[in-house]
Amino acid sequence: MKQAILTARALELLAELKTASDHATKSKLIADLDERGVKASAIQKHAGIADYELRHYRRVYTKLTPEVFSFFQQGKISFSQAKVLASSDLAKQEFFAREAIAKRLSVVSLRKRISGNHNGKFIRDLERLSNSYSEQTGFDIQIIADSKNEKAGKLVISYHNLDMFDAISEKLVGLPKDEY
């Protein structure tokens, strides 16, 4: 009965989707079906696509910028790379896509590049600075770079007992423990 609700064009698109072999075509066809109001269950039933696959295709065509989707359609980036890029910040997608194309990044390398904007030298510098602060203060200090914002991070001072906590508090606030 639900099949009768589908338009002739929607049925044509579903048949085309069922036989499509490349991911870019499937993403575009699913976008066309969504625009026509075809429900996910109908797409799954008529095209033989699993729920998780449908969600991946939808995410790719809804979350990628037009330029990056164009790279995907041209075969310059893979479906797996497109899925990774779809989960990244819109403002940086094209930069990361172009970098993936130019450097022929694997999906794992692309994912690491997107999730951690810091280079190895910067991380090593923070570790050296953490060690220096720890030696100077006598406290366990870590400096951790933020993975999403290259100008942010955390300064973590660990304590292992209440005496250490009191000593840290005294250094930070400048008051003996009896006064805070």
Q: How confident is the model over 86-109, as pLDDT tens digits?
A: 988 888 999 999 999 999 999 988
Find, among 47, 87, 93, the residue nearest to 71 by Cα: 93
Residue 33 near residue 17 (C-beta atoms within 8 A): yes
Pick the CATH number of 2-115 from 3.40.309.10, 1.10.10.2830, 3.20.20.370, 3.40.190.10: 1.10.10.2830
Where are the domain boundaries for CATH 1.10.10.2830 in the chain?
2-115
DSSP code, position 150: T
Residues 86-89: contacts with CB under 8 Å, at least 24 apart: 86/59, 86/60, 86/62, 87/59, 87/63, 87/114, 88/114
> According to the model, what pLDDT value does residue 4 have?
44
Between CA 135 and CA 141 the distance in angstroms is 9
Other beta carbons within 10 angstroms of residue 35's beta carbon come to 8
Whose tokens are 């896509």? That residue is 97
Q: What is the pLDDT of residues 70-85, one digit of tens each?
A: 999 999 999 999 999 9
83 or 144, higher pLDDT: 83
Residue with tokens 């794992």: 108
Give the pLDDT confidence of 6-57 residue by residue, as tens digits.
Answer: 889 999 999 999 999 999 999 999 999 999 999 999 999 999 988 888 989 9
Q: For residue 63, what pLDDT band results from cuts at 50, 70 and 90? A: very high
pTM exceeds 0.75, yes or no: no
Q: How far apart are CA 121 and CA 36, in angstroms?
A: 51
Question: How many helices (DSSP H) and strands (DSSP E) are in the chain?
Answer: 11, 2
Min mean pLDDT across 30-34, 49-53, 119-123, 159-163 is at 119-123
Q: How many CA atoms lie within 13 Å of 5's alpha carbon, on the beta-carbon side?
A: 7
Question: Can you tell me whether residue 90 is helix, strand or coil?
Answer: helix
Does residue 2 carry a pLDDT above 70?
Answer: no
Distance CA 72, CA 79 (A): 7
